[in-house]
Amino acid sequence: MSNVDKAEKKVSSKKSAKKADAHIEGASQIGIEVRKEVDFSTWYTQVLKRSEMLEYYEEVSGCYIIRPLAYNIWQEIQNFFDAEIKKLGVEDTYFPMFVSQRQLEREKDHIEGFAAEVAWVTKAGSSNIENPVAIRPTSETVMYPYFAKWIRTYRDLPLKLNQWCNVVRWEFKNPQPFIRTREFLWQEGHTAHFTKEEADTEVYKILELYRQVYEDMLAVPVIRGIKSEKEKFAGGLYTTTLEGFIPTTGRGVQAATSHCLGQNFSKMFDIVIEDPKDAKKVHVWQNSWGISTRSIGVMVMIHGDNKGLVLPPRVAATQVIVIPCGITSKTTEDDKKLVESKVNDVVEELKSVGIKAKADLRENYSPGYKYNHWELKASIIILTGVPIRLEIGPRDLQNQQSLMVRRDNGSKEPIPLADLVSRIPDTLKIIQKDMFERAKKVYDDHVKIVLKWEDFVSTLDGKNFVMIPWCEEVSCETSIKEKSTRHVTEEEAEDEKAPSMGAKSLCIPLEQPNDPPIVPGETECISCGKLAKSYALFGRSY
């Protein structure tokens, strides 16, 4: 068996990691059967599948079907981000998904280290293709030959293009839905500028928009920073990043990146203009930036609980679901009709103030459930993460009220029917804010400032990030990774919970701690003892 075949086999023979103690007592078939804290990967898969966000694609390992509930989140992200970048003058475009070997290999630094993940089309029917083409893993090499063609004078600058597309990276590491998949959706922005200053400004504007997507839409806290030399995009000048944190595993996740490519690509692809001052050829300054469907996975991992998905209101396709309840065998047909018509009225009222509301009036589909069916409905609503459930029953009608149940914290509150149009929008805002703040507190609590090397690995093993005074040198980063790797058997290393993997630098945070401050010429790197330049965030990561 070739190495590629072996790796393939590893990817496809996903272990069934069910653990006896992970089982949740009394969990019915529609619920989640394992605890998030005990068997995280099974929990994650069950949440995604049972909430109908995602389906496994049996044909090709590492590929998944994004179902409407999840795709809707992606569309919310697209709508927000696309409108914002248009304000910055970015235009949408679409380039082919194929790239020739010649173009792909034009920028050596960029492809080095990535080459093993590039998928190639080598056959058409049964005959070999004379010049195989690669499927884009990213589009720098697809687009830049045309930037060279279109950019002639400073009047052609800035050029700001974006595309929403799929990319393919044939990974052999353990795949995980949304987090590491062989095909994923993203947007890739590619811009060219006359000056470095202009490029720099854009890099940070885009990073701020990505922060808004994560923090304001997905309620996922992130740390903004700059990548180390070792971890930056090799083809570029510097990489800015958002780093997320998955508390259950203690691992970091790169959430989005905005790169300044400097003049590296413009030199390789000959993207030049004449300087208006002296007619000399100057290479343009370029940026590229991307955010992907990984963001959906991060959101699910952070907010989901032992009952299933929990959606932040801003990205929920349904924000409020209204259900009739308390209908029993003694309820008269008239009362039942009254309840149902009130449910519909409430939905219309909420929609009229811009709330994404839906009624669940589906009839009982099995006699066994005839009269307690709303309870079954409630558990499905809980599983699918709808932020607010409103229950209205015959007795509620008499009292002109409803029962509001929050998905994020399970709290229940009777709300007068007349107050719904004011209370529901407010409550959605509160849920959004509470979800972010809870997650933010957990993140903050897991970022530990470590001032001596002896505490580094133990702090990391406590599922934390470590923030250390650091020299920023590549050799030091390599040594930190080595010193923090627990040497385990191959079998153990397969298990995502074994803290075997060494720590990487995640970023040099833009917001630096100052207690204690880094004293130039005095503070030492806690790993190698050379002078520290800054605090850097280290952690195990996806």
CB distance 292 to 317 below 8 Å = no
Rounded Cα gap, residues 357 and 521, in angstroms: 60
> CB 168 → ligand 87F: shortest distance, Å?
9
> CB 106 → ligand 87F: shortest distance, Å?
12
> CB 237 → ligand 87F: shortest distance, Å?
12
Nearer to ligand 87F, 76 or 188 (CB): 188
Question: Please, which residues bridge with residue 283 across strands?
Answer: 272
Handedness of CA 242, 233, 295, 196 (dihedral sign): positive
> CB 177 → ligand 87F: shortest distance, Å?
19
Nearer to ligand 87F, 142 or 309 (CB): 142
Nearer to ligand 87F, 90 or 471 (CB): 90
Tokens of 488: 């385990």
Q: How many CA atoms lie within 13 A of 257 on its CB side?
A: 20
Phi, psi for residue 501 in degrees, rounded to 5: -65, 140
Nearer to ligand 87F, 232 or 358 (CB): 232
> CB 195 → ligand 87F: shortest distance, Å?
21
Nearer to ligand 87F, 144 or 289 (CB): 289
Cα 184–chain centre separation: 11
> CB 3 → ligand 87F: shortest distance, Å?
18
Q: Which position's Cβ is nearest ligand 87F?
A: 290
Nearer to ligand 87F, 51 or 505 (CB): 505
Rounded Cα gap, residues 308 and 320, in angstroms: 17
Rounded Cα gap, residues 31 and 468, in angstroms: 42
Residue 306 three-state SS: coil
CB distance 68 to 53 below 8 Å = no
CB distance 250 to 232 below 8 Å = no
> CB 91 → ligand 87F: shortest distance, Å?
16
Q: How many CA atoms lie within 13 A of 359 on its CB side?
A: 19
Helices within 212-332 (DSSP H only): 264-268, 294-303
Nearer to ligand 87F, 259 or 463 (CB): 259
Tokens of 199: 């490029």
> CB 477 → ligand 87F: shortest distance, Å?
19
> CB 225 → ligand 87F: shortest distance, Å?
15
CB atoms within 10 A of CB 517: 12
Return the exposure string of 219-255: e unless at least 16 CB atoms fall within 10 Å of the residue's CB, then b: bbbbbbbbbbebbbbbbbbbbbbbbbbbbbbbbbbbb
Rounded Cα gap, residues 194 and 176, in angstroms: 41
With residues binned 3-state (H G I as helix, E B as strand, rest as coil), the percentages for the chain, rounded to 5, are 35, 25, 35
Under the rule (CB under 6 A), what is the footprint of ligand 87F? Answer: 110-111, 114, 117-118, 137-138, 140, 169, 188, 233, 257, 259, 288-290
Rounded Cα gap, residues 193 and 259, in angstroms: 13
Spatial CA neighbour of 468 closest among 441, 508, 502, 501: 508
Tokens of 344: 């519909």
Nearer to ligand 87F, 288 or 523 (CB): 288
Torsion of CA 423, 428, 430, 432, to 10 degrees: 180
Nearer to ligand 87F, 46 or 187 (CB): 187
Nearer to ligand 87F, 181 or 318 (CB): 181
Query: CA gyration radius for the chain?
Result: 26
Nearer to ligand 87F, 288 or 295 (CB): 288
Rounded Cα gap, residues 84 and 257, in angstroms: 17
Nearer to ligand 87F, 288 or 402 (CB): 288
